Amino acid sequence: MRGMHRIRRAGVSGLVALLGSLLLSGCEEAGPVSSPAPQARPAALQPQVPRPRSEQSRALARYYRAVQNDLLTRGLLRTDGGGPDTPFTADQLAENFETIAFFDEYARGSVPARRTRGAGGELNRWTAPVQIGVEFGASVQPAQRTRDANNITGYAARLARITGHPISIARGNSANFHVFVAGEDDRDYFQTRLQQLIPSISARELALFRNLPRSFYCLVVAVSGSRNPNTYTRAVALIRAEHPDLVRLSCIHEELAQGLGLPNDSPEARPSIFNDDDEFALLTNHDELLLKMLYDPRLTPGMTADEARPITRIIARELMGQAL
């Protein structure tokens, strides 16, 4: 989505921020993230009791409502997943996969952030089961909590079917992919949770989250293990609570999919949510194929684009043949 800036995967060097390429020190150890023993939940983990939104939050909600209405008026934010008007070939699918899976959306060290295809990176994805934990800020009202929780639960099941990788809603303290739906009034709460989940996060990076510009619609951070730097072990996604329903659902679709290992956007990808033209709001048939490719066992974390290219072209042709 145009204007939907995100913070991408951390990799071996830590958290890559859009502004100034801020880096976390250190990495997470590989392996699932869990609490060592059943104990009383910390205060930040207790369910947040809903409270009325501030005027600042309501004003932001009005702004995002106007943005959504403008996009819909222009025929954007499609929810049909693509059709006869958006054809693509196996070669285009393979090329889009390479751009989206092996390259970062933003150039490191550029201020302001600059879009780039950059120098080729390596394939990153999860190997352990992905267990999604959903947390709501106190500004999120009960009806929205129910709607968003149901959407995330259904989408997690869909992602599991597409990828063939274990992806489910976490039970207890087993979450390793944390999804926060929070608003302007919940910044202190989210800051506390970030420090708990990513202890190595710096004051400068916390300040970026605290003073998040309204052009940041939603974001995701994925952290890899020090033993296996191309394997994700934890992720945190932030979905702004002030978004109207469709844009909020669009954020859920894009950030959860990108947090699985598709960090880039491409203007060539169509039909796709990995494209900043705002044409599609929700995961498309093209995007499902990208996720299938990402978790195909013939590809392994750490592969370069050059190493993977012959394989991805074979996989793309197989998938397109199956779709005919």
Is pLDDT at 146 greater than 80 in this prediction?
yes
Identify the sign of the CA torsion 137, 263, 204, 208: negative
Whether residue 35 lies inside any domain: the answer is no
Q: For 222-274, what is each residue's pLDDT tens digit?
A: 888 888 999 999 999 999 999 999 999 999 999 999 999 999 999 999 999 99
CB 167 within 8 A of CB 132: yes
Is pLDDT at 193 greater than 50 in this prediction?
yes
Dist CA 166 CA 277 (whole Å): 31
Which two tokens mark 99? 């751009």
Which two tokens mark 43? 């205060």
Among the residue ranges 50-64, 110-124, 270-284, the one predicted with the least confidence is 110-124
The half-sphere exposure of 192 on its side-chain side, counting CA atoms within 13 A, is 12
Dist CA 199 CA 75 (whole Å): 43
Is pLDDT at 107 greater than 80 in this prediction?
no
Whether residue 141 lies inside any domain: the answer is yes
Q: Which residues contact 310 (CB under 8 A, 6 or more apart)?
A: none
**pLDDT of res. 263:** 92
Which two tokens mark 216? 């940041």
The three-class DSSP label of residue 231 is strand
**Confidence class for position 46, pLDDT limits 50, 70, 90:** low
Question: Of 145, 4, 155, nearest to 71 (Cα)?
Answer: 4
Whether residue 5 lies inside any domain: the answer is no
Is pLDDT at 26 greater than 80 in this prediction?
no
Q: What angle do CA 62, 66, 68 make, to 5 degrees?
A: 115
Q: For 297-321, what is each residue's pLDDT tens digit?
A: 999 999 999 999 999 999 999 999 9
**Confidence class for position 209, pLDDT limits 50, 70, 90:** confident
Whether residue 160 lies inside any domain: the answer is yes
**Confidence class for position 135, pLDDT limits 50, 70, 90:** very high
Residue with tokens 């999919």: 257
Whether residue 161 lies inside any domain: the answer is yes
Domains identified in the chain, total number:
1
Whether residue 2 lies inside any domain: the answer is no
Is pLDDT at 15 greater than 90 in this prediction?
no
Whether residue 317 lies inside any domain: the answer is yes
Whether residue 219 lies inside any domain: the answer is yes
Q: Which domain holds residue 213?
A: 11-25+54-323
How many other C-beta atoms lie within 10 A of the C-beta of residue 199? 10
The three-class DSSP label of residue 302 is coil
- Percent of the chain at pLDDT exceeding 90: 67
Q: For 59-77, what is each residue's pLDDT tens digit?
A: 999 999 999 999 999 999 9
**pLDDT of res. 50:** 86
**pLDDT of res. 223:** 87
Is pLDDT at 203 greater than 70 in this prediction?
yes
